[in-house]
Amino acid sequence: MNNQGELRSFERFMITERKSFYTIKEYKFLISGFLSYCNKDISSINFEDIENYKNFIVTEKQYSKASQYLAMKALKLYYKFKNMDIPPNLVPPRRSQKMPVYLNQKDAGTLINGCDNTRDKAVISVFLYTGLRVSELVNLEIGDVDFEENIIYVHAGKGDKDRIVVMPDVCRDCVKVYMKERIKIRSNNNYLFISNKKTRFNTSTVERMVKRVGERSGIAKKVTPHVLRHTFATSVLRNGGDIRFIQQILGHSSLATTQIYTHIDDSTLKEMYSMHMPKY
């Protein structure tokens, strides 16, 4: 079968479904692997073929539970694209409920101070003080920042939803210093954060930059944009923030997603134990 033509049609369908660039890229890859493995028309694929594929991605491809989950979601969408009934065995495994990795307050401050230029400091500050996703940060435009109201407008975030996030003064000041340099740079785009080539940052470049700053700052943990998002949410919760407020500012469609932040961090755990430990 002509997999390339099929994948292009599937891509167009996902665009009409308002899927993000990253979801489209990932789902195309997963469906390409599925079609290559089965090597037959979708109408001929049966229950046993799907079971064999599920076994293949676990034993041969060694997909993690998270990747297995995405593969099943991609297949469900593909069957919807084909206007076919979803097979009953397209059931993803339960994903592991791991405690999110985050930085403590001291390391977060060290990270900000470890930046050696205004752009990187502004990027790190936005992550730590707003909880933006890396995909949202790279799509910010100059006009999305309101310095008077201390607000950043996030357009078409995950789930194609708009929202606002608040900047405290310390974050606003970092972005303001960088903005003075940004508006002097002649480029053919209005993106807030741009690369040395004057083009929009891509997510992998930002991830490498954050990792580099973390290593240079001497932080033992591997620092990623998602770790900084976890750090923001954990800090807000620790300081008494309501879980529904955290859900809204992070842009979660479901409160269940936000519940991962209701863990008790090490320092709070020790404090609570000291207050309520057994008195023998």
d(CA 129, CA 225): 12
Query: Which of the following is catalytic: 19, 200, 230, 252?
Result: 252
Answer yes or no: 212 catalytic: no
Q: Is 189 found in the same domain as 117? A: yes
pLDDT of residue 261: 60
C-alpha dihedral sign at 218, 220, 224, 230: negative
> Is the same domain home to 18 and 155?
no
Tell me if residue 263 is catalytic.
no
Same domain for 130 and 239? yes
Full DSSP string of 80-145: HHTT-PPPTT--PPPPP-PPPP---HHHHHHHHHT--SHHHHHHHHHHHHH---HHHHHT-BGGGE
Q: Is 279 a catalytic residue?
A: no
Residues in the chain predicted with pLDDT less than 50, given as ranges, are: none
pLDDT in tens, 223-279: 999 999 888 888 887 777 777 777 777 776 666 666 666 655 556 556 656 776 556
Q: Long-range contact list for 47-55, CB < 8 A, 24+ apart?
A: 47/87, 47/88, 47/89, 50/75, 50/87, 50/89, 50/90, 51/89, 54/89
pTM of the model: 0.68
Q: Is 230 a catalytic residue?
A: no
The answer to whether position 228 is within a domain reads yes
Residue 32 structure tokens: 């390409």
Residue 256 belongs to domain spanning: 105-266
Write the Ramachandran bin of 158: left for phi over 0, alpha for psi from -120 to 50, otherwise beta: beta
37 tagged catalytic: no
pLDDT for 9 equals 93
Which is catalytic among the residues 73, 211, 226, 263? Answer: 226
Is 274 a domain residue?
no
Instruction: Answer yes or no: do 115 and 62 share one domain.
Output: no
* Active-site residue flag, 252: yes
Per-residue tokens: 113: 């101070």
Instruction: Identify the active-site residue in 78, 178, 191, 261.
Output: 261
Give the pLDDT confidence score for residue 49 in this predicted structure: 92
Would you give the distance in Å from CA 220 to the centre of its chain?
Answer: 22
Indicate whether 10 and 51 sit together in one domain. yes
Do 9 and 143 reside in the same domain of the chain? no
Residue 97, domain member (yes or no): no
In a shared domain, residues 110 and 158:
yes
- Quote the DSSP letter at residue 260: G
Distance of alpha carbon 242 from alpha carbon 246, whole angstroms: 6
Residue written as token pair 């974050």: 171
* Residues 113 and 219 both lie in one domain: yes
**Does 62 share its domain with 133?**
no
Out of 158, 163, 212, 263, the active site residue is 158
Residue 276 lies in a domain: no
Residues 6+ apart with CB under 8 A from 161: 251, 253
**Structural contact between residues 108 and 121, judged by C-beta atoms closer than 8 angstroms:** no
Cα-based angle 69, 82, 75 (whole degrees, multiple of 5)? 10
The answer to whether the beta carbons of residues 230 and 100 sit under 8 Å apart is yes
173 inside domain: yes
CATH of the domain at 154: 1.10.443.10
How many independent structural domains does the chain possess? 2
Rounded to the nearest 10 degrees, how much is the dihedral formed by the CA atoms of 196, 197, 202, 206?
A: -10
The one catalytic residue among 121, 182, 229, 230 = 229
Q: Are 75 and 114 in the same domain?
A: no
Task: Please report whether residue 273 resides in a domain.
Answer: no
My answer on whether 243 and 123 are in the same domain is yes
73 and 117 fall within a common domain: no
pLDDT of residue 106: 92
Last residue in a domain, options 48, 81, 114 = 81
The enclosing domain of 58 has a CATH number of: 1.10.150.130
- Look at residue 246 in the predicted model and tell me its pLDDT: 74
Q: From CA 149, how far away is CA 166, in angstroms rounded?
A: 8
Q: Are the C-beta atoms of 122 and 174 separated by less than 8 Å? A: yes
Instruction: Confirm whether 109 is domain-assigned.
Output: yes
**Contact, 112 vs 125, CB < 8 A?**
yes
Q: What is the pLDDT of residue 182?
A: 93
Both structure tokens of 178: 């960088």
User: DSSP string covering 18-64, please?
Assistant: T--HHHHHHHHHHHHHHHHHH-S-GGG--HHHHHHHHHHHHHTS---
Residue 187 within any structural domain of the chain: yes
Q: Which of 133, 172, 182, 200 is catalytic?
A: 133
DSSP 166: E
